[in-house]
Amino acid sequence: MAKPRLATIWLDGCSGCHMSFLDLDERLFDVFARAELVYGPLVDAKEFPEDVDVTLVEGAVSTEDDLRRVREVRAKTKILVSLGDCAVTANVPGMRNPLGPKAILETAYASGVTGASAAPSEWVPALLERVQPVHAVVPVDVYLPGCPPSADVIAEAIDQLLAGQLPDTAHLASFG
């Protein structure tokens, strides 16, 4: 039987959840003995592949690019995992929601220290009006809150996912 295909993706987050994933340390050998890592910041692959079994999504949906990518990932993944508070609640990226993207961009660029007269309009994706958790835009199968979820929590969840089970994360992980 072919190994399950595992992917990770980094939307609007600080990469702390990926760091926590790396904190599996020697347990990563077990994970990669059981699964093939086919996409993510830790893999040199340009396009998100077809037929992925499990994708861990870090980060909130903040830009048009985040939205396009998470929809593509959802279409090509059997089990989608919201990894960490940004993916689950919008968390820190969502703190701009009470202000709106226009005010944020003006503060960061036009009146900021960069010397720019306005926010960049090309090469960077446009901000969405509201930062949203992943499950607000695509269906999510497993929620793993935490900022970040600890390596132990991620290890436990991955262990069950690679065994073909949906982990019950209700008493495994918590916010913050």
Partner 1 sequence: MSVVTLVIDGHDVAGQSGQSILSVAREHGIAIPTLCHLDGLSEVGACRLCMVEVRGARRPLAACVTEVQEHMEVTTTTDELTDYRRQIIELLFTERNHVCAVCIANRHCELQDLAKALGMTHFDLPALNPSAGVDASHERFGIDHNRCVLCTRCVRVCAEIEGAHTWDVRGRASEARVITDLGTPWGESPTCTSCGKCVQVCPTGALFEKGRAVAEGKERRPYVPFLVARNRRS
Binding site for partner 1 (CB under 8 A): 82, 85, 88-92, 94-95, 97-99, 130, 133, 135-136, 140, 143-145, 147, 169-171, 173-176
**Least Å from the CB of residue 95 to partner 1:** 6
- Closer residue to partner 1 (CB): 46 or 171: 171
- Closer residue to partner 1 (CB): 7 or 173: 173
**Least Å from the CB of residue 84 to partner 1:** 9
- Closer residue to partner 1 (CB): 38 or 157: 157
**Token digits of residue 79:** 């089990």
- Do the beta carbons of residue 150 and residue 77 sit within 8 Å? no
- Closer residue to partner 1 (CB): 3 or 135: 135
**Token digits of residue 48:** 């998100």
**Least Å from the CB of residue 153 to partner 1:** 11
| Cβ-count burial 50-79 (b if 16+ within 10 Å, e if not) | eebbbbbbbbbbbbeebbebbeebbebbeb
d(CA 62, CA 79): 22
- Closer residue to partner 1 (CB): 63 or 91: 91
**Least Å from the CB of residue 96 to partner 1:** 9
**Token digits of residue 152:** 């132990």
**Least Å from the CB of residue 38 to partner 1:** 26
| Cβ-count burial 131-168 (b if 16+ within 10 Å, e if not) | bbbbbeebebbbbbbbbbbebebbbbbbebbbeeeebe
